[in-house]
Chain A
Amino acid sequence: MNDMTQSNVDVGAAKVKMQAEGVQVYYGTTHALKDVSVNILDKVATAFIGPSGCGKSTFLRCLNRMNDTVASARVEGKITLEGQDIYDPKVDSVQLRAVVGMVFQKPNPFPKSIYDNVAYGPRIHGRTSSKAELDEIVETSLRKAALWNEAKDRLSAPGTGLSGGQQQRLCIARAIATNPQVLLMDEPCSALDPIATAQVEELIDELRHQFSVVIVTHSMQQAARVSQKTAFFHLGNLVEYGDTDQIFTNPRDPRTESYISGRIG
């Protein structure tokens, strides 16, 4: 299984941003993720695909230690960010999450104004010293999230009053306002209509020029559209990891082939 991770590191001149080695996750006695090793490349969109319950979301939540909030979860193995072990006792998971941002399946803006939603991260991390600086971060983040034109006149309106697609872009703006190095997206389009989905996908393609984007998706078409690297998970195993083109046109593992051709899943 692990040979796949080694053979496909050469997407352009991309360097390795995060590295997972032999990651095992247990929920109580359930072995949810078995021996996963993946390299997440810098400035590349990586898609995790697989049937429900295959462990792709679990693995995503390991990358910013969101699994810490699940009492029964236990993570083994090693995950590094730029060579530093993120599960090292010296690492503060709170600080880590400012560097490895996350966007969730359901749009979950805070019940506050659009401005406060985006400004929350920079505020708690003390990134800014003045109101003007904060204003700029908010504007830049909203622009990057392609929401500025729609939101600039109503920054003090509640974020929960936006449409579903706008809310999800607001959540993306909130995540990138802390200036992350990696952005994790857990099925970000599953609650959106096709038009909003297209907007978010376009956004992902722009964002990946600035940092790594890791996206979990149920939709193989989406994975094919937005990602350069794809990992296929099945029953807690990482079955295959490689260039997206190769995975979809010439899968090496019969299980991958079965899944992308719709025979399993």
Chain B
Amino acid sequence: MTDISAQPMPSQSAAASIMVGSKGMKKRHAAEARFKAYGVVAIVFSLGVLAFMLFTIFSDGISAFRQAQLTFPVTIDAAVVDPTGTRDRDTMAKVTTFSYAKVLNNSIVAALLAKGIPQEKVSDKELGEMVSKSAPAQVRNMVLADPSLVGETVTISVFANGRIDGYFKGRVTRDTASRDSNVSPAQLDLADTLRDAGILSLGWNSRFLTNSDSSDLRPETAGLGVAILGSLYLMFLVLVICVPIGVAASIYLEEFAPKNRWTDIIEVNISNLAAVPSIVFGILGLALFINFAGLPQSSAMVGALVISLMTLPTIIIASRSSIRAVPPSIRDAALGVGASKMQTVFHHVLPLAAPGILTGTILGLASALGETAPLLLIGMVAFVDNYPGAPIAGFFDPATALPVQVYSWASRSDPAFLERSSGAIIVLLVFLVIMNVTAIILRRKFERRW
């Protein structure tokens, strides 16, 4: 014992120098460096996946906002559209879109002739088919709205057929056209010529945001109007239903409810509800709101009720945790000067908890916006051609929602709908970004320190 303490051990004194790293130190540093590297790899990987997802969505979907359009003078032949010559709307309404198709067909043939563009192997009928099937209805509505147009020549823009549109977006090639009964390689050649001549152009397509859904035969006219309005209705109703109930429930549970077995059970069940698969809520909504309560199916109201059931637990959990985060000293201070429990909550606790409640609510709404499965079950996946009416009656009209529209377009056979599906995802993402930015702005605005 004594000799050890008397003479310092050489190995010990060497290790004691801080200039020389010990073996153990190296291992510890290596472990730390490895851990950091794992973190960087994980972040790079997730960012890469996100970037890839955004890239594919945008490269597929951005073209949905551009559409091939034909612009040419249309002579509205009085003999066809108004055979009686009365210029009376009701009489003219008897003329169907079939006759207007003839008007358009004649006009485009004349337009090519006037510009001296040879039709080559494309017959007059095939030339007419290059125009969207929605165009006759468009002209008919225009004429019925303004009968003075009869007999005049007006220059109008109509959509090109979806296949022609697909050709300019690279979806349709001469190879596929030769095997396609809807379009021929000759028509594609002519489309190129028309583009050079300025009759056919690819332009911003605002009708993608305003049109309603359309049938499989005319993907070019399919739009998101009904889905956007339906989603707005849904969000509004979910907000109106969830926020008062959710905030009131969390205030009661946090501030007023006695802490006993019952509140424990309620608390556990709220957490459990947040984890229930959304399709289950869809079944519940179908049984409860449609079959039992008799609310109209496919309506925004039923959708909002179902989504509210799913969003409430999220909002309650977020609100409770932000109420709990308010320091108890603030409650003591208010009670100490003689504020009642209610005044304490509404004057002090709630304003301090508001940023957290708002953030939780908006994030809950954002996840509700993307919810699809329950809406499928209550019929919001139906083909809805008409806009829902104005509130409040419009809440009970059939509508669709953005994510449901994405789903139903993605399952159609024509690849033109795939492009529109990606376009709808872009619109959905824009909505989500707006909501998240709102959440951040509101939180910054209401944030206070204590």
Report A's interface with B, CB cutoff 8 A. 64, 66, 69, 71, 94-99, 101-104, 106, 108-111, 120-121, 124-125, 160, 171, 174-175, 177-178
Contacts and interface: CB of A to CB of B under 8 A. Distances in A.
A103 to B, nearest CB: 8
Contact of A95 (B330, B338, B343, B450): B338
Contact of A104 (B258, B336, B449): B336
B325 to A, nearest CB: 13
Contact of A175 (B258, B336, B343, B347): B336
B333 A104 contact: yes
Contact of B330 (A101, A102, A110): A110
Contacts of A64: 336
Interface residues of B, number: 22
7 contacts: A97-B336, A98-B338, A104-B332, A110-B334, A110-B348, A120-B334, A125-B338
Given A71-B259, A160-B449, A160-B450, A108 B330 contact: yes
Contacts of A97: 335-338
A125 B343 CA distance: 11
Contact of B352 (A111, A121, A124): A111
B335 to A, nearest CB: 6
Contacts of B338: 94-99, 121, 124-125, 178
B42 interface: no
Interface of B: 258-259, 327, 329-340, 343, 347-348, 352, 448-450
Contact of B339 (A109, A124, A175): A124
B449 A111 contact: yes
Given A71-B258, A104-B332, A106-B329, A94 B352 contact: no
Contacts of A109: 333
A66 B348 contact: no
Contacts of A69: 331, 335
Contacts of B335: 66, 69, 97
B257 to A, nearest CB: 10
Given A94-B338, A171-B333, A124 B343 contact: yes
A107 to B, nearest CB: 9
A127 B448 CA distance: 29
A100 to B, nearest CB: 9
A94 B336 CA distance: 9
A110 to B, nearest CB: 6
Contact of B337 (A71, A106, A111, A178): A178
Contacts of A95: 338
Contacts of B340: 94
